[in-house]
A and B are shown apart, each in its own frame.
Chain A
Amino acid sequence: GAGVSQSPSNKVTEKGKDVELRCDPISGHTALYWYRQSLGQGLEFLIYFQGNSAPDKSGLPSDRFSAERTGGSVSTLTIQRTQQEDSAVYLCASSYGLGIIGYTFGSGTRLTVV
């Protein structure tokens, strides 16, 4: 596609429910990143995937968070047993690969946990 596509754009869920957020990176991009942007805050790194290498999960805040990337393309970020503090905008970005300057962000999924 022309850009990084994320779905849904908005998600409201009840505390304790599981949610899945989807990211479609730019075709041909081998690296994919997830960031979290809390209200009025900067972006916080969560996880990245590069090709067939093991993902770097060092930014995931708890074991309730997980992500997978199927076929080197689409990625899904899963949050289990959501808490109110999980409310944020979840942003996905992709790039051609490591060491490449600059990458492209999607518009994000705004998650609200009530």
Chain B
Amino acid sequence: QQQVKQSPQSLIVQKGGISIINCAYENTAFDYFPWYQQFPGKGPALLIAIRPDVSEKKEGRFTISFNKSAKQFSLHIMDSQPGDSATYFCAASSMIKAAGNKLTFGGGTRVLVKP
């Protein structure tokens, strides 16, 4: 059962453009939603995260939008740069101790920013 669905699988954007990646989840127990960035040959690195008590969080050029009623969240990369070319993963977990902070990942989006 895929609990976190991510789209699109790949994305090409011109330098300076906006990259938008969408995720939808099923488990209403999820209450922590991070995004990870992964470069080839490296492990994923935490980019930005949001809790469901806010609808938007911005860090530099990266913004997460969260819609609790629709069980959807998205990542917006503003003013995309060639260095942003990477694979992005959304994830979700439940922060209660019993859940063990295990992350459920989306399938990933490969982003290519053309100069």
A and B found bound together: yes
Q: Which residues of A contact B4 (CB under 8 A)?
A: 42
Q: Which residues of B contact A44 (CB under 8 A)?
A: 105
Interface size of B as a range? 20 to 34
A42 touches B108 (CB 8 A): yes
A107 touches B42 (CB 8 A): yes
Q: Is B60 an interface residue (CB 8 A)?
A: no
Q: Which residues of A contact B62 (CB under 8 A)?
A: none
User: Which chain A residues in 62-114 approach chain B with CB under 8 Å?
Assistant: 91, 93, 95, 98-108
Q: Is A26 an interface residue (CB 8 A)?
A: no
- C-alpha spacing A50/B100, complex, angstroms: 8
A43 touches B97 (CB 8 A): no
B101 touches A45 (CB 8 A): no
- C-alpha spacing A102/B93, complex, angstroms: 10
- C-alpha spacing A41/B91, complex, angstroms: 13
A98 touches B44 (CB 8 A): no
B105 touches A43 (CB 8 A): yes
**Residues of A near any B CB (own CB < 8 A):** 4, 31, 33, 35, 40-45, 48, 50, 56, 59, 91, 93, 95, 98-108
New A-B contacts (4) at CB < 8 Å, excluding given A44-B105, A95-B101: A33-B102, A48-B101, A104-B46, A108-B43
